[in-house]
Amino acid sequence: MQTTLEKEFSLVGTGLHTGRPVRLNAMPAPAGHGVVFVRSDITDRDNAIAARFDAVNDTQLCTRIANEAGVEVSTIEHLMAALAGCGVHNARIEVDGPEVPIMDGSSVRFVREILMAGVVGLEAPVPVLRVLQPVKVVDGLAEAELLPSDSFEIDFRIEFDDAAIGTQVHRLDMHNGSFARELSDCRTFCRQADVDYMRRIGLALGGNMENAVVVDGGDVLNPEGFRRADECVRHKMLDAMGDLALAGAPVLGRYRGIRAGHRMTNLLLRKLFATPGAFEFIEADKTLAARLPGVGVSISDLDVAV
């Protein structure tokens, strides 16, 4: 069955790029509603934006969606990953500003709030997007690909000159609480040179070492270091989880990313939906539903207390 939140929850935080305080209210929604963001601070025009790949209008350092009235919400990927990882198919997300709060730079606080609020079933079958044939996008050294699979898998490789990151590879089947256990606490990361550049162009105004891991060559500048030895590649997988959730339905397929980011994943979804015969929508029976993200997840799956 499709699901939604059992009850509403609220969070207050700071926008990573705007540096502005923002309040987020996540509320239950009916079957077929999907995930919809609503700008509660805008009342003079349509303020609702469906969280879909074709609503994405910017992927520079985050994922931003917009509606036809020009209303935007950015940095949605960590919340989208948490909703998908907890198996929430329908929700109304109200924010009183242009950006979802960054919290600690991971999805763990969102996951905790979702699981504390509860996830309930709705009287409607779950549509699943099944990948039928490989679809791939390439841009220089970056690649993103979707392949047929009997479950939802994420396979990622990153390569950085900074010795603190280097080359990292990880692969996960995303069923039975894998997202909560393995990815949700992994924070966004950047190089000190990137921080300097973003500040020069007016981004990352709310960024600090409480919501991002900063590296400089072989050094991790955060006093606590990494939460996991391969936290960086796991965060890239978290981002991919959130960006793939913009397909509008759980994905049955294997995502493979090499040096990929928000832009590549969005281009991949656009190519998938534009390729005849590359996918189909099916209704999940009990066997398939048991392999989808979020089934069986509990708050005990969280490894860290944040």
For residue 305, is pLDDT > 50?
no
Distances in whole angstroms, Cα of residue 276 to Cα of each of 55, 133, 265, 270: 21, 10, 19, 12
For residue 83, is pLDDT > 70?
yes
Helix, strand, coil share of the chain (percent; to 5) = 25, 30, 45
Confidence band of 254 (pLDDT split at 50, 70, 90): very high
Q: 83: buried, middle or exposed (CB in 10 Å: 19+, 13-18, 0-12)?
A: buried
CATH number 3.40.50.170 is the correct assignment for the domain at 3-121: no
Cβ-based neighbours of 2, under 8 Å, separated by 6 or more: 31, 32, 89, 90, 121, 122, 124, 125, 126
Catalytic residue among 78, 89, 175, 262: 262
Confidence band of 60 (pLDDT split at 50, 70, 90): confident
Read off the amino acid at residue 127. Answer: P
- Residue showing tokens 């049955």: 252
Distances in whole angstroms, Cα of residue 294 to Cα of each of 52, 88, 181: 20, 8, 11
Question: Does this model's pTM top 0.85?
Answer: yes
User: Pairing mode, if any, of strands 21-27 and 9-14?
Assistant: antiparallel
Looking at the chain, how many residues does it have?
A: 306
For residue 295, is pLDDT > 90?
no
Domain 127-301, second-level architecture: 2-Layer Sandwich (3.30)
For residue 243, is pLDDT > 70?
yes
Check residues 302 and 132 and name the one with the higher pLDDT.
132
User: Pairing mode, if any, of strands 48-50 and 35-39?
Assistant: antiparallel
Compute the Cα dihedral for 47, 50, 51, 54 and give only its sign. Answer: negative
| CATH topology agreement for domains 3-121 and 127-301 | no
User: What does the pLDDT look like over 96-116, one tens digit per residue?
Assistant: 999 999 999 999 999 999 999
Confidence band of 303 (pLDDT split at 50, 70, 90): low
pLDDT-above-90 percentage for the chain: 83
Distances in whole angstroms, Cα of residue 290 to Cα of each of 1, 18, 258, 279, 287: 11, 40, 29, 21, 5
User: What does the pLDDT look like over 128-153, one tens digit per residue?
Assistant: 999 999 999 999 999 999 999 999 99
3-state secondary structure 174-237: CCCCHHHHHHCCCCCEEEHHHHHHHHHCCCCCCCCCCCCEEEECCEECCCCCCCCCCHHHHHHH
SS3 170: strand
The full set of domain ranges for the chain reads 3-121, 127-301
For residue 306, is pLDDT > 50?
no
Q: Does 235 participate in catalysis according to the annotation? A: no
